[in-house]
Structure 1
Amino acid sequence: MGKVCLGRQPILDRNHNLVAFELLFRQEESEETANFTNDLSASANVIVNAYGKFGIHNVLGHLRGFINADPDLILSDIISLLPSKHIVLEVRESACITAEFLQRCKELKQKGYQFALDNIVAINSKVELLLPLASVVKVDVLALTRDQLTQLVNQLNHWPVLLLALRVESQEQEEHCRQLGFQMFQGYYFAKPEVMSAKRADPGKMPLLKLLALILRGNSLDSNSDSEIDEIEKEFKLQPSLSYNLLRMVNAGNDGLPLKINSIKQAVQLMGCKQLQKWIQLLLYTSSQSKDSLSDEITQTAVIRGKLMELIATAERPHDKNYQERAYMIGILSLLDEQLGIEMQQIIRKLGISDDMTLALLTRHGRLGQALKLIEAKEKGEIASIHSILSELDFLSLEELSDIETQVKGWIDRTNATANKLSDVA
């Protein structure tokens, strides 16, 4: 399945307190420096991984993250996916500085985004254009002599910016920067970039394209109808890892306090179709898979569990749609620990799902927990356990359970047939 990686390097204050991280593109766990040819691609991967794969609060806590932001990223809609309280946008003076770019930066600053000038070694005409936007200037101290550094700091002191000493590699360098008044420090002397990793579980391009088409169709209406949102929800229900990332994105701007989400539909509505469209486009840009992820065995098992849970819940409470939706979510989330290589306790802590869902996933207790336990016993062929759980549930017979399994088999066959047709067309 492969791994997804994200680098982060600590940024410290004068007292060596951790105040921020620089988030870095990494392809391998052992990789110390980035290897890429496209700045936008690297930044897009950093954003997808930090927010969707790892969860921004796991990556940053309550600190800020510095992210490289070339003009293409600044001018794109991707920026609106990033809450301003989380990030500092790093701009390099080597970038193409146009009037459009400067105006966009001013608008973002008015919205609360902060900017840092990266790898500064001298003040030139481009730097002078960017300085009014900046809150932080990252000075490459390794590239300058002591006299050059002193001269540059004296010039920068005319601007209301914080100075960050970049590429500090010795105690002597740190001490000199302290004497010059630098407020923040980053470099190998303090810490090399840490590479975080997790199992890769990309949804694949075909499901993303289908989702994007549904969202664009919805955006063409004056307002998103229930039927349009229902179609979007159905597609998410076929993608456990994508649904998980959706819940992470919805909670990203909530100060680390997970919202109580009972259904995928609720998560879609909370995010909003415009933001959802931008996110799907970003995932398409970074996706490395071309296959439909329903062909993945774990994904397919999770989807089958979700549908079984939904139909079992329907048999128990035929008029309680909310209960049925919670049951489906339990089914598709139940294998995420195996799929992502993350403990279920950690997954749940970041998702903000309801208490009965948490109980079911962690302990298999409660009515929904018993239903999940029943499905797992059926997968393993544990006849005695199946009869025991059915007796405890007391609303479902073995024959009715077999009928439900037949319904699910037909549903999954139809879903796979539709996916194959779409793949052939593509």
Structure 2
Amino acid sequence: MFVNKKATLFARQRIYDINRSVHAYELLYRTAEDRQGESSGDEKTSHVITQLFSSLNIETILNNKRAYINFTRNHLIWNVPLLLPKELIVVEILEDIVIDKPILECVYRLKDQGYQLALDDFIYHPKDSPALIEIADVIKIDVLKQNKRQIAQQLAPLNNFKGKLLAEKIESPEQFQDCIDLGFHYFQGFFLNRPSSFKGQLLTESRAVLYRLLSQLNDENISIERVERLLLNIPKLSYRILRLANSTTHYRGRKIESLLEAVRRLGLNQIRNWLSLFLISSQDEPSSELLERTLIRAKMCEALAQKIGYSDPHQAYTVGILSTLNLFLDEPLSQLLCKIDLTETLNTALIHHQGLLGELLGSVISYEQGHFHHAVQSSFEAQDLLDSYLEAIKYASVVLAAINQQD
């Protein structure tokens, strides 16, 4: 198989507002051959810009949000940001760029053209900072391992700043609250990817039945009649399956009135997928962001499994779906899985990231967090990782729209 060594691996890191809704995305990226970060920033940024804005559906990738993009000194001087739509990007000025006359001319030009500017990893320098503070729309402060007093000291020179403050690398609920108290508007950090609060949800017996059903549906020898009998025990899911089979997407000129016919029309893989979606979307007030992240992970697992010729790609999809179960329910994943009675292969993959499915899940999680070096150390080709990620984002967008229509 031909692998494009210049392919750009990129992922979206969410930027949240004070309500923990997704405000924008920072694009994390590097080239496929750059396994140790050797390739230049110019090359990496050029690749991601070319791929995103000329080859892909950028609106779908960004989910109608802005993208924070790091630009190198050369890109700023070459006026590369002016090639991109100003309503879709925020131009990040890196902390290691020397602020001199050519750079100031560039950023003033961008500002005059209506582009938003962000100062990345901002540290105040009396000589250079005042001019940038005056025109910046967003200032990003790295709060990693800092207490409230230390963060406040970083903010002291910004008393007259009229733009927005973004705290990045937030590590805990307490630090998140400290940043809110100090006047930050936007927030970044893997801690924020967890739901804002647990409501004491439990894996009830009825919900456990659903997960056991999902496990049984992964038996490649299960009959259509057996599937129908299992689904008949879950009226709400049966209703959704019937509605789906009669939707315009699947309609074939005759209305279906029996669950058995619906199962035959949709096929076992569709039933599995919709059971998975029913499980995660039936939680009490699930986070739409968490639903999206779960769907992206599940589909990326399945797509990667297909690319490497795994015998049952839907097992990979199931692993992706179940890997976030602990985020929906207030219980460790290992304890939850004990109640579901999965196969040893799935349990080992989910709990220990071992076996081919476990390696696949670990690579997908590394990729979605922007830890590309760990992702490409696996047996998966860089181009396959990228293609699967893009396919998964598009899939999640379509499925979330379908879920909203079903509700």
When the two structures are superposed, what TM-score results if normalisation uses the length of structure 2?
A: 0.45
Greater helix share, structure number: 1
Larger Rg belongs to: 1
When the two structures are superposed, what TM-score results if normalisation uses the length of structure 1?
A: 0.43
